[in-house]
Each structure stands twice: as C-alpha cells, then as structure tokens.
Amino acid sequence: MMNALWHPFADMSVSAEKKVVLQHGEGCHVWDESGNEYLDATAGLWFCNVGYGRRDLIEQATQQMGRLPAYSTFDVYANRPALELANRIAALAPTAGPTGVFFTSGGSDAVDTAGKIARRYWQVAGAPERTVIISREHAYHGVNAYGTSLSGIQVNAEGWGPLVADTVRVPAHDTAALERALAEHSGRVAAFIGEPVIGAGGVRPPEDGYWARVQELCRRDDVLLIADEVISGFGRLGTWFACEHYGIEPDLLTGAKGVTSGYMPLGFVAAGDRVRSLLWDDGGVFRHGYTYSGHPVACAVGLANLELIEIESLRPRVEALAPVLAQVLDGLVGRPGVAAVRSAGLLGAVDLAGAAEDPSLPGRVVAAMRERGVLIRALAGGSLQLSPSFVISEVELARIGDTIASALDAVAAAEVGS
Ligand SMILES: Cc1ncc(COP(=O)(O)O)c(C=O)c1O
C-alpha cells in the first residue's frame, strides 16, 4: 500500500508506520478511524477554540465557496469577507489605530511578513541600517526562514546552515538583557518580537510588569514592537488579544490559528498607524503577498468564528475556566514525575521530571494518555501542552489532570518493571 504522507515535526522512521488517523470531531472530542474517542486537551495545535463540528462555520464556508471560492486580493482586488474581517480585526486589535490588516496563509507567513514589514518600514523611514530583529530564548515564531531564524528553541534553529542574518536572541523575561542588546546594537535594531505568553517553548507567562518595561524600552530606542499572538489571540487569556491583558500597544501584531479556530488556514499581520501610514502613503508597491492573502472562504469562516466567540460569551468562559485549569495543574505539583506547572488563561504546561535525561519520556507519557482517551502533546523542552477548546467543561479539565497523573504512574511502573 502507498504510504506517502510526510508528517511535519515527525521522525518518519516512526511516523510512517505508526499513525493515529482522525476522522471526525464534536465539541472538544475527536474520533479515530477505529472508532476510539479522545478528549482533545490541546484544541489541535492550539487552534480549535470554539470546538469541532460548528454548523455556523461550516455553512458560511459552504455558502462562500458557492459564491466565490477564491480570488486574489493583489493590486485593486478585494472580496467582501476579506474587507469585513480586516475591519473586524483592526477594531479588536490593541495596535494604535487606524490599523491595517495584511492577510497571510498561516502564522509562519505572518511572522515572515511582520519581519519584512519591519525591515521595509525602516528602509522607507530613511534608516536602512536598522535590520536587526531581537527575539527571545524559548520563542517559537513558526518555521519559515524568518521564524526559524528568530527561534529561541535551539533544536528548531539548528541543522539548516546559515539562516536570515541580523537576528539576536535575549533571555526570555529579562528586561536588563534586552536593554543591553539594544545598547550593543544601538541604531541598528528594527524590531523586537515576542509572544505575550511563550507558547511552544513551554507555556511561560511573563512576570508582572515585564511587557510594560519592554514597551518602554522599545519606545525609548524607537524600536518597533511586534507581538506574536498566533496562540494568544482571540480569547486564550480571556481578552481578545493578550496585549490587552498585559496593557501594551504593539506596532505590529501577528495572528493565525484562533482567528478561524483552525476551520480554514488563515493568518494576518495587524499594523498600527505608525507603520500603516508610512507604508501606505510613502512605501510605493509593497512587493509581498500570498496567493491566498484574503482568501474569501477563510475570511468568511473567520467572521463566523469571531461572531460565535462573541454570542456564546466564550471569552468570559475562558476567564471563568482559567482558575479551574490552574487548580487542576496545582493538584499535580509534588507528584513523582512532575517538575513544575504553569498556566495563563486556558494555556497550561506540566514540566516532566527527568525529560532532559530521558528524551523519550514525554513521548511515552503522551502515548499513555492517548491509551487512556486523552490527546495531549509534548513540547520541545519536555513539557506537556494544555490548550483546550473554550467549550471544555470543568469535569473534562479535571479528567485531563487525572489522566496526566495515571499516565505518569503507568510510565513509572513500566520503567520499574522493565
Ligand atoms: C507564536 C507562534 N507564531 C507562529 C506560529 C506558526 O504558525 P503556523 O504553524 O500557522 O505557520 C506558531 C505556531 O504554533 C506560534 O505558536
């Protein structure tokens, strides 16, 4: 039988033969082709915020496909869903308005676009020497060339040879280190990029005051501030965007995933007035864009998704569930196998003790949880990722906690027995 699917972030010597083929989903549950049901603790890859099986999104996609499945938004062309979704995002984004919204096909494209917009901004502003972008240790900004170059997860940045030049890493949550980097590269820094809560690098919320100080330093040195809200956008922390939660106004904001709850691939960069006005008024042709920038079906689904988040009060629901998730994770502290836990909104992580010494451990815990009917994911640093759909119940959150505990016990028992 043919077996051609090349899985992303996979060791194909394993994944070619060992697959979990998922077939359908409803709420925060998915089923595989053999009929096994799983509670999805991660909302896919941090995206399915409104849960699976939403008729409104499916109907909007179907209707838009019937009207106009696709047309580019290059040059003068537009379509109604792209116009409306851009306006909706611009109204919600915490960028200083009026804001311009540039659509992409996903989060990696959004980061690439934001990096190029930042560099272009300084070219047009008459400071072409500003080419350096500062990012942070533990950062994940996708896998395009720019995102890989900005990566603070070392294993993701290694093994490709030379990457995009002029990227600099500073320790996460260390504003003194950022200040030193700004001084070292004085007059050459185009932008600083960070996830409001570090996601794939281990779900690491900042300390109080961190983002306010970063914004202060960026403003002081006239450096553009890019917030990568690919995970944290659209309600993960209760607010529409995490920047709002931390009280900052970035110059550029990247988003994807939760904008459509993953029902269609879509990303964007929201550019506040400082960038928008310069590049719209004086930038000439911005020679960048994707075939599917402003894809009408993706944008129609995005509009329906945002509407659902609003009418079902899903953001207040996240606010109510956040302490429940924190409590579930706190209940794991002190158990054998658990080194630390962290959470912010409906984002959580469990650091597994011993993962550094035994890199196969997280995979075994994930498999043990799958056998117990819960889909979870191991992050590069050896933590378990929790990012459930906003429709998850308190009982289901408790079940995830109990399943982590029983999976850890089973993995430990298997080690003793082997
Ligand atoms: C913060 C952040 N930026 C960018 C990306 C890349 O998005 P995509 O996988 O849609 O290209 C991700 C994906 O997880 C992300 O978490």
- Report, as an integer, the average pLDDT of 118-139: 98
Report, in this order, helix, strand and coil percent for the chain, each rounded to 5: 40, 15, 40
* Ligand 1 atom 10: residue of nearest CA: 107
* Ligand 1 atom 13: residue of nearest CA: 142
Distance of CA 325 to the CA centre of its chain: 19
Residue 404: phi and psi, rounded to 5, are: -60, -45
Q: What is the pLDDT of residue 31?
A: 98
Q: What is the pLDDT of residue 395?
A: 98
Half-sphere exposure of 55 (CA within 13 A, CB side): 0
CA distances from 294 to 67, 86, 290 (A): 15, 9, 9
**Best residue for ligand 1 mutational test, from 146, 231, 234, 379 (most atoms within 8 Å of Cβ):** 231
Question: Hey, where are the domains in the chain?
Answer: 12-53+313-417, 57-311
Question: What are the pLDDT digits (tens) for 383-396?
Answer: 999 999 999 999 99
Is residue 275 within 8 A of residue 268, CB to CB? The reply is no
What rounded mean pLDDT belongs to the chain?
Answer: 97
Shortest-distance atom of ligand 1 to CA 231: 16
CA 108 / ligand 1 centre spacing (Å): 5
**CATH superfamily, region 12-53+313-417:** Aspartate Aminotransferase, domain 1 (3.90.1150.10)
CA 255 / ligand 1 centre spacing (Å): 8
Q: For residues 402 and 409, give the distance between their C-alpha atoms in angstroms, rounded to a whole number.
A: 11
| CATH numeric code, 57-311 | 3.40.640.10
Shortest-distance atom of ligand 1 to CA 195: 1
- pLDDT bucket at 307, cuts 50 / 70 / 90: very high
- Report, as an integer, the average pLDDT of 202-231: 98
pTM (2 d.p.): 0.98
Shortest-distance atom of ligand 1 to CA 254: 3
CA 230 / ligand 1 centre spacing (Å): 6
Q: Judge whether residue 404 has pLDDT over 90.
A: yes
Q: List, chain by chain if needed, residues with CB within 6 Å of any ligand 1 atom.
A: 45, 106-108, 111, 140-142, 195, 199-200, 228, 230-231, 256, 267
Question: What are the pLDDT digits (tens) for 49-88?
Answer: 999 999 999 999 999 999 999 999 999 999 999 999 999 9
Shortest-distance atom of ligand 1 to CA 265: 10
- Residues with Cβ within 8 Å of residue 341, at least 6 apart in sequence: 329, 330, 332, 333, 348, 349, 350, 351
Enclosing H/E stretch for 344: strand 338-344
Question: What are the pLDDT digits (tens) for 157-186?
Answer: 999 999 999 999 999 999 999 999 999 999
Q: What is the pLDDT of residue 97?
A: 87
CA 257 / ligand 1 centre spacing (Å): 8
- Report, as an integer, the average pLDDT of 284-294: 97
Q: Judge whether residue 14 has pLDDT over 90.
A: no
Q: Judge whether residue 17 has pLDDT over 90.
A: no
CA 142 / ligand 1 centre spacing (Å): 4
Q: Judge whether residue 313 has pLDDT over 80.
A: yes
Torsion sign, CA atoms 85, 144, 113, 251: positive
Query: Tokens representing 381?
Result: 């640093």
Question: What are the pLDDT digits (tens) for 83-111?
Answer: 999 999 999 999 998 999 999 999 999 99
Q: Judge whether residue 130 has pLDDT over 80.
A: yes
CA 157 / ligand 1 centre spacing (Å): 15
* 26-40, 337-351, 404-418, range with the lowest pLDDT: 404-418
**Best residue for ligand 1 mutational test, from 109, 141, 153 (most atoms within 8 Å of Cβ):** 141
Q: Judge whether residue 418 has pLDDT over 70.
A: no
Strands (E), 90-209: 100-104, 132-136, 167-170, 189-194
Nearest in space to 308 (alpha carbons), one of 238, 390, 236: 390
Q: Judge whether residue 327 has pLDDT over 70.
A: yes
